[in-house]
Amino acid sequence: MLKLLNVEMRYPNGVSALKNVTLTVEQGEFVYLVGHSGAGKSTLIKLLYRELVPTSGFIQINNFDLRQMKEHQVPQLRRTLGVVFQDFKLLPKMTVGENIGYALQVIGKSDAEIKEAVEQVLNDVGLEKQADHFPNELSGGQQQRVAIARAIVNRPKILIADEPTGNLDPQTTEGIMDILQRINGRGTTVIMATHNQQIVDELPHRVLEISGGKIIRDEQGGQYTHEVDNNQKTPAR
C-alpha cells in the first residue's frame, strides 16, 4: 500500500515540482504515470524510493513512514522496491551480471541463488549473451533492459519504473510489458511513468496524469490523452 497526502516538493533551486499531491495506490495495482516532459513524474517517483524527501506532506509505503523514518531504515525500504531509473544508473565498473547480482548480494542471498536468479532474469529481458559485458559496451536499449532486470530480480512488492521503454523498439517493448504484466499478475504493484501512448491505450490500467506538478486526472482504464487538458494542440500521435 502506498499513500501520499498533500505532498509538496520544491527543489533547492526554487523550482516547485510537485504541488499538493494526494494519492493512494493499493497493493497489486498497475498505474501509468503520464504527463508532459517536466511535469513532475520523475520527481514523484524519486519521492517514493526516498531519493528525495518532500518539502511538506506525508508519504507512506509498505508501512514505512518516509518523513519520520531513520536514515538507517532507508535500505530496508528500498529492498522492498524495485526501481528502473530514467537514466538507468548502472554501476560502470561491474558487469551486467554483477550489476544485477549486487541487488541480491546486499540482501544476503547465497552465491548459488544469485547465479540462478541472474541467469533467469537476463533470459527474461533477452540479454543472456551480455552477462559479462560492462554497461559501456551495451547499446542504449540493452542498458535499459539491464536496469529493468535489476529492478525485478529480487521480486519486489512494488515495482517503480521511470520511462522503462524509452530506448526500446516496439517489439522489445512488448516483451518488457509482458514481463511487467506477469509480475503485476503475481501481486506486485507496478507504477510506471511513460510517454508511450500505444502502451497506455492498448493495455488499459489506471492512469494518473500530472501537469505542472499537480495530478489533473486519475482514471481507471484511462487513455493516454485527455481531451479537456490537451485541447490546445491536437496530439499528432
Ligand X SMILES: Nc1ncnc2c1ncn2[C@@H]1O[C@H](COP(=O)(O)OP(=O)(O)OP(=O)(O)O)[C@@H](O)[C@H]1O
Rounded-to-integer distance, Cα 59 and Cα 81, Å: 15
Let me know the angle formed at the C-alpha of 77 by 131 and 134, rounded to the nearest 5 degrees: 15
The residue with its CB nearest to Mg ion is: 42
How many other β-carbons are positioned within 10 Å of the β-carbon of residue 168? 21
Our CB check for another protein shows the closer of 81 and 122 to be 81
Binders of another protein among 83-122, rule CB under 8 A? 83, 85, 89-93, 102-103, 105-108, 110-111
Shortest separation between residue 191's beta carbon and ligand X, angstroms: 13
The contact mask relative to ligand X for 55-94 (x = CB under 6 A, - = no) is -------------------------------x--------
Shortest separation between residue 5's beta carbon and ligand X, angstroms: 19
How many other β-carbons are positioned within 10 Å of the β-carbon of residue 88? 20
Joined grid coordinates for residue 182: 506477469
12 φ, ψ (degrees, to nearest 5)? -50, -30
How many other β-carbons are positioned within 10 Å of the β-carbon of residue 120? 12
CA distances from 75 to 42, 60, 71, 101, 106 (A): 20, 15, 8, 16, 9
Q: Which of 214, 124, 215 minimizes the C-alpha distance to 177?
A: 124
Work out whether 92 is an interface residue with a second copy (CB under 8 A): no
Residues that bind Mg ion (CB under 5 A): 42, 86, 139-140
Q: Give first-to-last CA distance, the chain, whole Å.
A: 34
Work out whether 150 is an interface residue with another protein (CB under 8 A): yes
Tell which one of 6, 139, 181, 198 touches ligand X (CB under 6 A): 139
For the chain, count helices (H), then strands (E): 7, 10
Work out whether 183 is an interface residue with a second copy (CB under 8 A): no
Binders of ligand X among 6-25, rule CB under 6 A? 11, 13, 15, 17
The contact mask relative to a second copy for 65-84 (x = CB under 8 A, - = no) is --------------------
Residues of this chain that interact with ligand X (CB under 6 A) are 11, 13, 15, 17, 35, 37-43, 86, 136-142, 167
